[in-house]
């Protein structure tokens, strides 16, 4: 095979491998069914450019997982992920290791801060079932960010009695120049942080159940 042909084949293989890795990262822990079914909040961004669906099984009932979801956020319960990495950029996040009653009050229209200047609105709130926070721009208006997004947390009965499937879904729509590239960068970082977040929620909910 000529050198040019080998280069082209190598590039094609590398590109295919990159797509496989990207797809795996966007769907860590999620079943094929979870990846394909509609979840609460999807309709807010029906034409998402990027969608990430991830999941984990937690050995407690959905009602025992819900309090940990309700209190997520900056200056609330944190994100149960890599606090040290988040704090490298000055976010001052400390993930809670207990359910705090003061953070259990959340309503539609409230804002959950990801950082001091970044907040998402609570758009779906179904206790022990679904929490969706979002930053979306009305049609015809210019948003403050180069992309819109939704972040859903969905609880379903797990494969065994007394277990829960926690499924998260992020959806992104580019709104301006550079938006698509920024979405790819954000979703890459999200892979690392979300995987740890899912394990953090699982371990806290399971640990609380053992202590009780």
Q: Which domains does the chain have, with CATH numbers?
A: 3-211 (3.30.530.20)
Q: pLDDT tens for residues 81-115?
A: 999 999 998 889 999 999 999 999 999 999 999 99
Q: What is the pLDDT of residue 126?
A: 98
Q: pLDDT tens for residues 177-189?
A: 778 889 999 888 9
Dihedral angle sign, alpha carbons of residues 71, 201, 204, 87: negative
Query: ∠ CA(131), CA(28), CA(78), 5° rounding?
Result: 45
């Amino acid at each position: 095979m000529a050198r040019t042909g080998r280069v082209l084949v190598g590039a094609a293989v590398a590109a295919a491998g990159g797509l496989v890795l990207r797809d795996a990262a966007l769907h860590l822990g999620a079943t094929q069914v979870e990846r394909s079914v509609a979840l609460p909040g999807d309709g807010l961004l029906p034409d998402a450019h990027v969608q990430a669906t991830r999941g984990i099984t937690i050995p407690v009932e959905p009602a025992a997982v819900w309090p940990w979801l309700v209190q997520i956020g900056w200056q609330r319960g944190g994100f149960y992920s890599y606090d040290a990495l988040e704090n490298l950029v000055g976010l001052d996040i400390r993930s809670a290791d207990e359910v705090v009653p003061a953070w259990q009050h959340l309503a539609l229209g409230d804002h959950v801060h990801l950082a001091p200047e970044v907040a998402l609105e609570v758009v779906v709130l179904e206790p022990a079932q679904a929490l969706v926070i979002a930053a979306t721009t009305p049609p015809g208006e210019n948003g403050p960010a180069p992309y819109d997004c939704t972040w859903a947390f969905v609880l379903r009965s797990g494969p065994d009695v007394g277990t829960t499937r926690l499924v998260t879904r992020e959806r992104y729509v580019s709104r301006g120049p550079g938006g698509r590239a920024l979405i790819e960068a954000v979703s890459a970082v999200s892979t690392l942080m979300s995987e740890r977040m899912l394990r953090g929620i699982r371990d806290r909910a399971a640990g609380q159940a053992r202590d009780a």
